[in-house]
Amino acid sequence: MPPTDLVVVLPGIMGSTLRSPDGLVWAPSAGSVLSAVRTFGRSITRLRLPEGIGDEHPEDGVHPEDLMPDLHVLPGIWTPVKGYDVLLKRLRSLGYREAAGSGSDAPPDNLLPIPYDWRLSNRWNGQRLAALVEPALERWRAQGGQYADAQLVFVCHSMGGLVARWYIEHCGGADITRKLITFGTPYRGAAKALEQLVNGVHHGIGPLALDLTAFARSLPSLHQLLPEYACIEHAGTLTKTTEINVPDLDAKRAADAMRFHTELRNAEANRPASLTATHAIVGIQQSTPTTVRLNGGHIVPLATYWEENLFGDSTVPIVGACRSDVPMDSNILRRIPDKHGNLQRNSAALDELEGILIARDITVRAPETLHLRVDVPELVIAGHNLPVQITALDGPRQAVRLTVTDETGQLAEARVIMANEAPIDVTIDDLPPGAYTVDIAGLSTNAPIAPVSSDVLVWE
């Protein structure tokens, strides 16, 4: 049977290309991450949002154009994320198709990837969704028959899940939405956003550092990724960002971001059907900033919560990856041992997506019994070694393959490592400037090992 609902795909922060009146200002393609960051940096003054922008649009001529197909990263904004081509390919394999043309005369389609200006408030982007998804749903329903009662299914990565939640709960989307499926969405925020906003861009990446830091602090969206949960060690307890003075954190923007989370939580609590419609695919077992400590005006990220390491997807901790009314050990969470930037293209995660969409069990690969924890920095300076730490979390000692590939897919390094319960440290030398992917997987496709993929930027 062909799919009868309309699937809407929303990327995460930085996951949409942006065009200004002068041309593309954010559109990394294969092999171009460094040049894309430079291009963005040269336009940073115009792209920075004005003070007090709130939930409005700056009317600066910048608009989103497409979903990012390749690896993308802005140092000091968020984590490196791979593109959405693999996710869209899996959806097409299930019978979902984009429109063949544009306008009201175009044939109806049931796959709608929606880029958005990720600088702006999630409230603004949530409201914008109504004008895009509702006409598309009406065209799809107009076929009649089995399509007459079609509804929306949102498939979202990271911050895209917050945009969809706002539309569903506050912009009239609840009555026409059947499912919300998320990959690594920070339902309750992420300590990494607090680290980025307070500490700014890594001091070693040259003249772009100050500009990118000021740009990051102008974004309502990045503030809305702040932890809603108590995350700051203070006076022997954990406090929220709005309960103490945090250096270099805009108190008004932080308070508004907390209202954003509260408004979502309250709306969902008042609509019990929202919980049964939500399917959260979360990353696990990776070292993840979960709480923080203030030290001399800087944020020191901690991978623990009350001295317990709960882990996560290296960007979104498990405590922030689920709704406040969903226990962290809930069986409704789908857990994948991989990192934030790869969840939306992880094979096991896509199998989970397929099972949710077709509402029946599917046959997956051989059971993966060995989970790995892989620690890789997101940014290193050219001339410095790249450290990789691998830990086997369960099962017997196993051989794993480490590969490092550049943005074009060219192999830069390959080694076989014996993974053990004790961390194994590996050093990669002499990587030239660029973006790289570090993959740790079994020696064969049948090896009982869950692969983990990390991305790193080597900056000049």
Tens digits of residue pLDDT in 144-178: 999 999 999 999 999 999 999 999 999 999 999 99
The CATH number, out of the four listed (3.40.50.920, 3.40.50.10680, 3.40.50.1820, 1.10.3720.10), of the domain defined by the range 1-364: 3.40.50.1820
Mean pLDDT of the chain: 92
Long-range contacts of 351-360 (CB under 8 A, 24+ apart): 352/281, 353/87, 353/90, 353/155, 353/181, 353/183, 353/281, 354/90, 354/94, 356/179, 356/181, 356/279, 357/3, 357/7, 357/94, 357/153, 357/179, 357/181, 358/94
How far are the Cα atoms of 73, 383, 454 from residue 429, in angstroms, in the given order? 22, 8, 17
Q: What percent of the chain has pLDDT over 70?
A: 94
Report pLDDT digits (tens) over 169-203.
999 999 999 999 999 999 999 999 999 999 987 65
Q: Considering the domain delimited by 372-459, tell me its CATH architecture.
A: Sandwich (2.60)
Mean pLDDT, rounded, for 2-17: 95
Mean pLDDT, rounded, for 264-290: 97
Report pLDDT digits (tens) over 210-258.
678 999 999 999 999 999 999 999 989 999 999 999 999 999 999 999 9
Mean pLDDT, rounded, for 301-312: 94
Confidence at residue 203, expressed as pLDDT on a 0 to 100 scale: 54
Determine the Cα–Cα distance for residues 390 and 422; give it in Å rounded to an integer.
9
Mean pLDDT, rounded, for 386-408: 91
pLDDT-based confidence at residue 275 (cuts at 50, 70, 90): very high
pLDDT-based confidence at residue 45 (cuts at 50, 70, 90): confident
Size of the chain, expressed as the number of residues it contains:
460
Where are the extended beta strands (E) located within 114-235? 152-157, 177-183, 232-234
Beta-bridged to residue 293, according to DSSP, are 233, 300
Confidence at residue 280, expressed as pLDDT on a 0 to 100 scale: 97
Domain map (residue ranges) of the chain? 1-364, 372-459
List for the chain the helix, strand, coil content (%; round to 5): 30, 25, 45
